[in-house]
């Protein structure tokens, strides 16, 4: 892929990812967390399913099951944890914790994809996790919101490995559409089971849902899966560091959230860690 096109697509995907945190937090004032993301991804999935109805769909129950599993981790797990996390911690902090996932991809890629990473990349993983510790205020007494933020990162890294392993079975837009649809339906089910759903309909809540459905879901995921399918999962995922930058920036601009000095230091450590992971050659293990 042309590097300039790659850069433009990375900026598009990560800016949409980051801004979705602040926009989503506005929505939490009107819609309960799981219901909000359930509506968002069910609508996005239905729209995209109609768009790809003429494309090649999975031919077997086994392949449909794989799409459901991807949707469970990529949409249900990630987005459920993110929006529950933002009830108790700032959206900027949630975005930083969520996008630790490139460092987790390195660990999972070694175990499940047979990728071999050099010492400098493992150093990057260590530095990155130190950055998480610093971001959380130099203490290990994690709050529920912090655990949920890290849970979203773990779920996303699992989904990344699955997309790299199974993504070749599906057309990118088909996979994007149905993983969002299945994940969204699971979120609606969890909303009925785990929370007392509430919904206030007004211009603001409708605007939030429309933005998150069209830009924060359809455009974001289609672009990201396209990038992921074109390169190594660890190196491509490393560019996700840009997303928490946009997340913190949008939280400050839109929500007026205060940014503590140690968050900058932690973010710098995470950046260094992801830089080390991203700019070192990755090779396959010899069998």
- Please count the CA atoms within 13 angstroms of the CA of 24 that sit on its side-chain side: 36
What is the rounded average pLDDT of the residues 95-102?
75
Q: What pLDDT shows up at residue 137? A: 65
Average pLDDT, the chain: 80
Among all chains, which residue has been given the structure tokens 């459901």?
A: 68
- Does the pLDDT value for residue 126 go beyond 60? yes
CA distance 231 to 191: 35
Average pLDDT over residues 213-217: 89
Phi, psi of 284 (to 5 degrees): -75, 145
Q: What is the pLDDT of residues 28-54, one digit of tens each?
A: 889 998 999 999 999 999 998 998 888
**152 close to 97: Cβ distance less than 8 angstroms:** yes
């Amino acid at each position: 892929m042309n590097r300039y096109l790659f850069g433009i697509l990375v900026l598009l995907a990560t800016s949409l990812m980051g801004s979705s945190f602040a926009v989503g937090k506005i929505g939490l004032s009107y819609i309960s967390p799981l219901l909000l993301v359930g509506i968002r991804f069910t609508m996005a999935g239905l729209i995209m399913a109609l768009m790809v109805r003429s494309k090649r769909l999975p031919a077997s129950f086994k392949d449909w099951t794989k799409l459901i599993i991807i949707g469970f981790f990529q949409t249900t797990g990630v987005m459920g944890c993110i929006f529950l996390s933002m009830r108790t911690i700032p959206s900027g902090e949630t975005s930083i914790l969520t996008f630790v996932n490139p460092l987790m991809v390195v660990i999972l890629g070694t175990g499940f994809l047979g990728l071999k990473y050099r010492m400098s990349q493992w150093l990057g993983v260590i530095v990155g996790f130190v950055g998480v510790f610093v971001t959380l205020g130099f203490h290990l007494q994690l709050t529920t919101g912090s655990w949920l933020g890290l849970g979203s990162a773990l779920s996303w890294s699992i989904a990344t490995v699955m997309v790299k392993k199974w993504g070749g079975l599906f057309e990118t837009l088909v996979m994007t559409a149905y993983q969002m649809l299945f994940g969204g339906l699971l979120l609606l089910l969890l909303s009925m089971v785990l929370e007392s759903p509430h919904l206030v309909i007004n211009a603001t809540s409708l605007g939030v849902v429309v933005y998150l459905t069209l830009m924060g879901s359809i455009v974001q995921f289609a672009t990201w899966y396209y990038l992921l399918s074109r390169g190594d999962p660890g190196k491509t995922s490393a560019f996700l560091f840009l997303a928490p930058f946009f997340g913190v920036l949008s939280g400050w601009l839109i929500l007026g959230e205060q940014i503590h000095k140690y968050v900058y230091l932690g973010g710098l450590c995470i950046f260094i860690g992801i830089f080390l992971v991203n700019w070192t050659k990755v090779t396959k293990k010899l069998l």
